[in-house]
Structure 1
Amino acid sequence: MATMTDYNAPTRDMKFVMQELLGIEPIARLPGFDEATPGLVDAVLEEAARFAGGVLAPLNQPGDRAGSQWHDGAVTTPDGFADAYRQYVDAGWNALPCPPDYDGQGLPEFVATATQEMWQSANMSFALCPLLTAGAIEALLSHGSEQQKATYLPKLVTGQWTGTMNLTEPQAGSDLAAVRCRAAPEGDHYRIQGQKIYITWGEHDCAENIVHLVLARTPDAPAGVKGISLFIVPKFLPDADGNPGERNDVRCVSIEDKIGIHASPTCTMSYGDNGGAVGYLVGEEGKGLAHMFTMMNEARHKVGVQGLAIAERAYQQARWYAGERVQGTPAGYSGSDKVSILHHPDVKRMMLTMRSQIEAMRALSYSASWSMDMSRRHPDADERARHQARVDLLIPIVKGWCTEVGQELTSIGIQVHGGMGYVEETGAAQHYRDARITTIYEGTTGIQANDLIGRKTHRDGGEAMQTLLTEMAGLAAELDASADSGVRAIREPLDTGIQALREAANSVVRTHGENPGATAAGAVPYLMMAGYVCGGALLARSALVARAALDQGSPEKEFYEAKLVTARFYAQHILPRAPALLPAVLAGDDAVGAMPAEWL
């Protein structure tokens, strides 16, 4: 019997997005992806669902209560985590999207995104470990030497070793130009000295070695970001056979006491307390930040998926509770028997607010990974470039919008529980606490928004955004042609949202070059507009797909009819948020600039 803390991966919804809304066949036709057939994808999703629900999810609430523990430089994860990680590695999950040349399975990022959602929903603290490892793999694939790839990638790919990203220092948060960690050349390596903070899974007991990717400055490096280089600093130096050898001069000196993700150790790392940690330069000196951004972009998409995933987990728990809790009589209800609160109109509104935005987030984040695969594997260079432009545009939206909405929805999940949601025993509060970090790490929502207005909208004269808007506007004729009045009703709110976003994008293009402070003041509203409209267009498309399936006599009548209602709810209740944000974008820094910082 299901309980409120169970997790059941929404595989049918995932398959709908992957096979019906976006399509797995174009991905399977890409070079090297011929094995990614619908049958194989179904098998992967079902097996991942069993692992997520049966192994990872039961550890989530106990792990939150116990937390990871630090003692004299060593970190012990909660009971069951090390064993679960061994099962994760033995089952080959870490290697799913990695190149076969390094013992990977070579499946598309599109498929890996679905499994990422499951891991993050089931146990976000656990899933942060392989998330960072995936970023390290991507950075070394793109910028590592052949020797570095041969030494580190096979073990990182399998998950035998884990990876981290070391950017932040006490005086250098988002401003990485202020990094002070030093790297002195010594023969074929460097000696690293300095401190890094907020290092996710920087020390733990789940893997035999940890490969840190560290930003540091060489002695003669110029000031600012041009003086930053990237280094591999392993916990144990690989021996001649590639196995963990001598312990490196790197140590975890403490872990943070945080609001959430208690089982994920957030470490303060000290390098070089006893003469200098051995580090190996990745790529070129002075190009460290550019190299690290390969890892950061990988992580930013996955953090966006975290926003989706934690909202899905909160929705499932709220749905269970609302179906079990008998309280009051719904407005307009004429029966004499008591019913669950799931029948109350406002509770149904909250549940649909959660459900509709979760479906929009899933479609958006999966569409980004669909384009990632196209940008990397399509045989035509122009098509690769077109999809890369789409990926670049979507990454800050996926990261910023999905995490902000995820935070909103975990809060609604507590509201559905009423007073019981405020009690830790139910577990609803954990999702809210865990979600809070997602809008902060890997670049805050403000940083994502500034990226969207600057590098992703203004720099190309708005071309990538206008291309996307034109595609979305093309849905209008299809919506109008539907015989279903509910589908046709989506058209007007979608058009209004598209027009508002187009006006906002044009304003950014006109204004940003001359007055970047004005566009920065309205950047987050612009990002949120983009998310709401992109989500609305994808749900409009899902309504068309669902209507077609019903017209063709699909036996899954309830599933597809629910898709139609969900899309209509989003159009009526969520899409109006987009044009409502337009005045904030257009206002720029009128009031923001008029308020001296000293008055705040």
Structure 2
Amino acid sequence: MPQYRAPLRDIKFVMSELLDSETHYQQIPGGEEATPDMVDAIIQEGAKFCEQVLSPLNQVGDEEGCSLQDGHVSTPTGFKEAYRQYIEGGWPSMTSDEELGGQGLPGSLSMVMSEMVGTANWAFGMYPGLSHGCMATLEAHGSDEQKQTYLPKMVTGEWTGTMCLTEPHCGSDLGLLRTKATPNDDGSYAITGQKIWISAGEHDLSDNIIHLVLARLPDAPKGTKGISVFVVPKFLSDASGNPGERNTLVCGSLEEKMGIHGNATCVMNFDDAKGYLIGEPHKGLSYMFTMMNIARIGTAIQGLASSELAFQGSLEYAKDRLAMRSLSGAKNPDGPADPIIVHPDVRRMLLTQKTIAESARAMIYYAAQQADISQASNDEDERNEADELLSFLTPIAKAFLTELGVEAANQGMQVFGGHGYVKEWGMEQIVRDARISTIYEGTTGIQALDLLGRKVLMTQGESLKRFTKKVHLFCKEQADNESISEFVEPLQSMNKEWSDLTTKLGMSAMKDREEVGAASFDYLMYSGYAVTAYLWARTAEVAQRKLQEGTSEEAFYKAKLQTARFFFKRMLPRAKAHADAMMSGADNLMEMEEEHFAF
């Protein structure tokens, strides 16, 4: 397994130079404390923890997995000690409100830590990771009593949280869920039902686990309009607010998974477990979207994490592994063969991984800044603008980046050749761990329908226009900058094509709604390449400006330009195929009779 090294220079480039985080933090309430010195210290210390503590446990977690005995789950060797250090370092409380015991730093700063934790050890990062969405839901919709009871200890990390949505008979179609909530005389509810695929549903890291559970009240209407959300703790709080009586819920089994073995994925059985209604009845699904949107951005980070770790492993290997001679002449004449990094096809794979990782970092950090603004700005119009932009970007980030993350993980294994297929090197673990990312928190297909159907067509294209206007403004500002015309001109053309394709799809959908489902995957992927092209063009502008001004880091900025060029020449052309596919219509998918699928 590659030993993770935090890519601090690129993290700082995206934050400070591409996205101007210093100005961003000074413009949002609560961001004043995030001075450059503080941000740098946080990132440095976070990198040290991830490299020295979490990375060595990554392969341990995969090989040992979790164990279940009498309803109790034990995590792999070293995880409990690592989690204790995680709490002691104050990492869970970094961006929570100071009133709740948090440090009050901007939420986007936590994305940097989430990236490093996730890349070093994705299975570990999932234990505290879901707590943030759980806390956000309680903060936004919980009663004062619920906030006081649960949030302070979740902020410190002493307690963790989950979201319990899926049931055996329904995956993403939550309108089919059957878990019931029966009112008790004391104002609480008896929750009965089974939930599956609950990440970190049971473990030995925290003193309590706070479950947010979707269930139906006796008078609930059918479908998604009849869903309520309840807070159901593993241990009920005693008079002092500490864990007391064990609630009647239990982990019935652990899923046998392809990857992320170090994280407990549980079947949770609720047997008249005591729960408390959050907010109003029958509004649970809308409340949970607070949590799910955060979880989806968190899942997008897995696309970045798998790309970065695979790239680090395969780059080191490609520099050392000797095989064959360069076609243009020996590059290692004193050795029996040349290192494989000299071969064009190996470089293609390495550059693909590098480009995906750096693209993902830029997109996620950009989305995180929009989240900061939507949550903290004093300007209502600015908040609404950022919230709408974030809503548009979320399905793209989640689905596009995880699809490319799986690609990068596979490319990493391919660089190793046969060695990549065996456990010794750890590259096949990255592939196995990455594969779930395109599935959970809404599959790629579901995210694609959300983007094209809900976010774009249902808003008559307004959500798309909000983003394409930003692209248009950038292209207009850089129209006379000949040094980056190779990036600006194709971006400008694509930006127009994006709008034109959307208009044509909207017209087709008016005649046949199946056209939306038929085009949605390719539309999402096209959109992902378009957003990425914008970010790479901005990156090229920064890099070119730094080189023209004179810099001691010439190699770094030249590499940025070269990577941008690789993306525009080698990866962006993929968007043309997606455009052709989305415009080919639904008939080639829907005309075949079901019985003709048989073989």
TM-score (norm 2): 0.97
Structure 2: 5+ residue stretches without partners: none
Aligned counterpart, 2:266: 267
- Whether the 8 Å CA contact 2:330–2:338 is kept in 1: the answer is no
1:106-159 alpha-carbon deviations (Å, 9 max, x no partner): 111211111111111000000111111111001101110000000000011111
Q: Secondary structure at the match of 1:320?
A: helix
Q: Secondary structure at the match of 1:180?
A: coil
1:36 Cα offset (Å): 1.1
Structure 1: 5+ residue stretches without partners: none
- Whether 2:7 is the aligned partner of 1:32: answer no
Q: Tell me which of 247, 268, 291 is aligned to 2:287.
A: 291
Identity of aligned residues (%): 46
Alpha-carbon distance in structure 2 between the residues aligned to 1:286 and 1:513 = 32
Aligned counterpart, 2:503: 506
Alpha-carbon distance in structure 1 between the residues aligned to 2:385 and 2:264 = 39
1:21-76 alpha-carbon deviations (Å, 9 max, x no partner): 11111222211111112221111111110011111110001110110111121111
- Whether the 8 Å CA contact 1:497–1:578 is kept in 2: the answer is no
- Whether 2:222 is the aligned partner of 1:226: answer no
Alpha-carbon distance in structure 2 between the residues aligned to 1:457 and 1:85 = 41
1:435-479 alpha-carbon deviations (Å, 9 max, x no partner): 000000010001100000122101211112123123223343555
1:66-106 alpha-carbon deviations (Å, 9 max, x no partner): 10111121111100001101111111101111111111111
Aligned counterpart, 1:128: 126
- Whether 2:543 is the aligned partner of 1:546: answer yes
Q: Tell me which of 528, 550, 556 is aligned to 1:531.
A: 528
Alpha-carbon distance in structure 2 between the residues aligned to 1:595 and 1:149 = 54
1:176 Cα offset (Å): 0.5
1:328 Cα offset (Å): 1.0
- Equivalences for 1:8-407 in 2 at 5 Å? 8-24=5-21, 25-186=23-184, 187-272=186-271, 276-335=272-331, 336-337=333-334, 338-407=337-406
Relative to 1, partners in 2 of residues 1:354 and 1:497: Cα closer, same or farther, differing over 3 Å?
farther
Alpha-carbon distance in structure 1 between the residues aligned to 2:162 and 2:260 = 17
Alpha-carbon distance in structure 2 between the residues aligned to 1:391 and 1:469 = 14
1:168 Cα offset (Å): 0.6
Alpha-carbon distance in structure 2 between the residues aligned to 1:342 and 1:89 = 41
Deviates most, 528-537 or 464-473: 464-473
Alpha-carbon distance in structure 2 between the residues aligned to 1:231 and 1:523 = 33
- Whether the 8 Å CA contact 2:321–2:340 is kept in 1: the answer is yes
User: Which letter maps to 2:295?
Assistant: A
Deviates most, 59-68 or 345-354: 345-354
Q: Secondary structure at the match of 2:33?
A: coil
Alpha-carbon distance in structure 2 between the residues aligned to 1:404 and 1:561 = 28
- Whether 2:587 is the aligned partner of 1:579: answer no
1:548 Cα offset (Å): 0.8
CA RMSD, Structure 1 to Structure 2 (Å): 1.3
Alpha-carbon distance in structure 1 between the residues aligned to 2:494 and 2:573 = 7
User: Which letter maps to 2:382?
Assistant: E
- Whether the 8 Å CA contact 1:359–1:539 is kept in 2: the answer is no
- Whether the 8 Å CA contact 1:519–1:585 is kept in 2: the answer is no
- Whether the 8 Å CA contact 1:501–1:579 is kept in 2: the answer is no
Alpha-carbon distance in structure 2 between the residues aligned to 1:356 and 1:478 = 25
Alpha-carbon distance in structure 2 between the residues aligned to 1:507 and 1:41 = 46
Alpha-carbon distance in structure 2 between the residues aligned to 1:507 and 1:112 = 40
TM-score (norm 1): 0.97
Q: Secondary structure at the match of 1:283?
A: coil
Please list every run of at least 4 consecutive aligned residues from structure 1 whose deviation after the TM superposition is greater than 4 angstroms. 477-480
User: Which letter maps to 1:93?
Assistant: W
Alpha-carbon distance in structure 1 between the residues aligned to 2:511 and 2:91 = 49
- Equivalences for 1:392-471 in 2 at 5 Å? 392-471=391-470
Relative to 1, partners in 2 of residues 1:513 and 1:112: Cα closer, same or farther, differing over 3 Å?
farther
1:486-512 alpha-carbon deviations (Å, 9 max, x no partner): x32223432343233222222333333
- Whether the 8 Å CA contact 2:251–2:266 is kept in 1: the answer is yes
User: Which letter maps to 2:115?
Assistant: E
User: Which letter maps to 1:75?
Assistant: V
- Whether the 8 Å CA contact 1:95–1:159 is kept in 2: the answer is yes
Q: How many residues align?
A: 592
Alpha-carbon distance in structure 1 between the residues aligned to 2:330 and 2:243 = 70
